Amino acid sequence: MNTQDRFSANSAALRANNGTVRIQQNLDIRKIHVAPGQESGFALAGIWADTQTVPDGHLAVQSTVEIEGQAKISDISAFTPTSAASYGIYASYGSHVTVKQGTTIRNISASANSSVAVGVFAGYGGIIELDHSVSISNISADSLSYAVASVSGGKVFINQSQSPSKVSIDQDLLSMGRNSAIEANFMTNDSVFNGLTLWTLNNLSEIDDDEGNEISAPLGKITLQFANGATWNVRSSNALLGTLTLEKGIVNLGTNISSNQSPSIRFMVGSLSGQNLSLIHI
């Protein structure tokens, strides 16, 4: 699908409401945008699945999107005066999106006084499963941007089968709200995560101001595994409220610290495991 049409609020190239969509081949979605000068309040997505209310006396059917092949989603952009949001994949209210043979999401952007851009978003009980190779890059917004976000009970699983496929994520992960979770497995020497693991919108300052005290009760969980030379580049102070498994994986700390700055950063992990723990470079 290749489109440059102007969309109304909360629109997507592929949208499922209270039903099931199955695609047995590959899916390619490109160039969805809201041009400058349009009304505000837009939310755009390549794939959007949610469960909407239905008339009294009828039970809502949770939405399901299943893609048997690969999914490629790129160039989703919203530019409006006051508020805008762009997503590669969006799942909420108990909906379930599955891509079985690889996912590429890139160039997701939003520009407004209040703007959000997310490559993969699961919220309010929504579940997203992206198996085998995954690439997420160039996610940007004037206000908030994340490669992957799970909020209010949403869950995202990346390469859950732990296949020997390249996984590349270039931007932060956010898991916020009780029962929210992100799990990602980086299993090859060319797999890489460039970003931080966040649990609130401002937790970077909370880490710096913690002064050695324990962080408050976790409101979201992130589980990461790096194996066979896979790399996590951590640019600044970071806390992973979950489990980090290293099986000959590499963690590089302070990758964005310049020579005239203090090389000291804080790196906290809820649980560290692995039979072959690798060296953590500073």
**Running along the chain, 282 residues long, what does each successive block of 10 average in pLDDT?**
48 88 96 69 89 62 92 92 90 95 97 90 96 97 94 96 97 93 98 94 48 53 96 91 92 69 75 74 58
Tokens describing residue 160: 């859950």
Per-residue pLDDT at 6: 44
What local confidence, expressed as pLDDT, does residue 206 receive? 44
Please count the other Cβ atoms lying within 10 Å of the Cβ belonging to residue 31. 15
Q: Alpha-carbon dihedral of residues 161, 166, 171, 177, nearest 10 degrees?
A: 0
pLDDT of res. 277: 64
The pLDDT, as a whole number, for residue 211 is 45
Question: What is the model's pLDDT at position 147?
Answer: 98
Spatial strand order of the sheet with 134-141 comes to 27-34, 71-79, 103-111, 134-141, 167-170, 192-194, 231-234, 250-253, 280-281
Conformation bin of residue 157: beta by default, left when phi > 0, alpha when psi is -120 to 50 = beta
The conformational region for residue 229 under phi > 0 = left, psi -120 to 50 = alpha, else beta, is left
C-alpha distances (whole Å) from 40 to each of 35, 37, 117 are: 11, 9, 15
